[in-house]
Structure 1
Amino acid sequence: MTERPLVVGVDGSEPSLRAVDWAADEAVLRGLPLRVVYASLWERYEGAAIAADLGRPSEQVMADDIVAVAARRALGRHPALVVSADVVPEEPEYTLPREGRHATAVVVGTRGRSALAEALLGSVSLTVATHAHCPVIVVRGSREDQAPPALHGRVVVGVGADGKESEAVRFACEESKMRGVRLEAVRAWRSPGHEAADHPLLAGDPARLHEERAAQALEAALRDAPPTVDLRGRTAEGHAWRVLAEASRHADLLVIGAQRRHGHLGRVAHAVLHHAACPVAVVPRRA
């Protein structure tokens, strides 16, 4: 059976080249080929100023230069890596989810935290994370225009209220095992302020029931985790996206499960993608 490659979407920007770095490292970890994809209509978002300077059609410049630079960068980082590249004449929002049907995962970059960056995330990275049928890793960049270095020795996975994160937990377990690092599973919980303290189940400790339910959801999510994984679970009080964004400050990868409804990504996943401090893997949940 043919191996499903790791796919990385490029657009010629430094953030997309950081994504190439991250994807090349990931492909080596997994022993997979890397497929570099440039959706040529991406230039509608990025512009094609260099085309005028060179006196060549923008489509030709974008295709020739962007794909070549990205492929060379991946091979320069890992000379033995099997790299292929392709140019697809359509919007990236359509190309990358379709590529994901035959990929292990899709990797995309994002430009940072400015207003323009948020708009670009919404138009490309967020759309791909919403519609792809495989895990999508959104690589948050560093100031040095390099892929974020693995400094923390930790992968974090977020667990939802129902504990049905088996796909995300499985992906996170694979990542932590390949990297030889600890996996930390986090379940956020909150005690709604409108609840009366004299409720029979909450008397004496209004938060206790919610914390216990969070612990139960965490236990359910981790029930099938391999015993070979260095695993730690914890609950934390607060909004889920804030808890996960804080956890991402001390992680090399944050993994979240996402159940798509009516063509939209959940609010927690949406917020995490905008505020995380490390690369985020969005793993589709089964309906």
Structure 2
Amino acid sequence: MALKQIDPVRWVLERDFKIGMKVTGLIYGDSYIIQNLEKEGALTQIANVACLPGILKHSFAMPDVHWGYGFPIGGVAAFSLNEGIISPGGVGYDISCGVRVMLTFIEEKEVASCIDELTAALFSRVPCGVGSKGALKISETELLSVLAKGALWAVKKGYGRSEDLECIEERGTLPHANPDAVSKKAIERGKPQLGTLGSGNHFLEIQVIDEIYDENVARQFGLNPGQVTVMIHCGSRGLGHQVCDDYIKVMHRAMNKYGISVPDRQLCCAPLKSEEAKQYLGAMQAAANYALA
């Protein structure tokens, strides 16, 4: 069997699982997760990633691993700066999609009696759904500033506080973003969507802290049982989707140019030191800044 358990939560996918694997796969998960992986074919995607040029150590899979686009969702890989590649399919369509939690100083008992009204109010104030448009009307010039500055743009416009930036990776701005590498089509898709939640698995949820598992960490974050929080799951919306779509086409052409072969066309890529990779990384970071904003 190509899959070998090495401890209760780690499994190795041996290189003989698929011809062309340069490294093994390393999967984090219990037996329940592993059973589902075998059913849906995510093991094949883990193996496909292990075939990519310049991959280092392992093709990793986190406990949330499931079938994705090229890479499995929850797939992680590191590549050599000299011999490695960048693949838009590895980063994904919803660039910088993620969750952030906002603390409140409200207790559950204060909200319980009006939760229906609160939910309805949020639904009416927060644009959501496929193609949703926000209340922000910005010019193309202003959007380019969003792509360059990320969450810092939002704070300067009064949509956040300077101390919020302390709680965001890179203080809310990826410094190597290149708005000029983002297509006109991506910009047009992004202009009306700033400040919208989107669709799919995106959500805004009122939550309550039910149980504390680590008292010390909870104390540092100011978390207490019964405290209400707000969790937001969003990303770069149509702008990020278009950036990925644009550069998948670029990478398909680049593979022929650089003589790269991959087991799945969804893993189309270019060498990290190539001009195509440089352009994509700049556009990808610009889309990430849009998501952070």
Instruction: Calculate the TM-score normalised by the size of structure 1.
Output: 0.26
Higher relative contact order (Cα pairs below 8 Å, separated by 6+ residues)? 2
Instruction: Calculate the TM-score normalised by the size of structure 2.
Output: 0.25
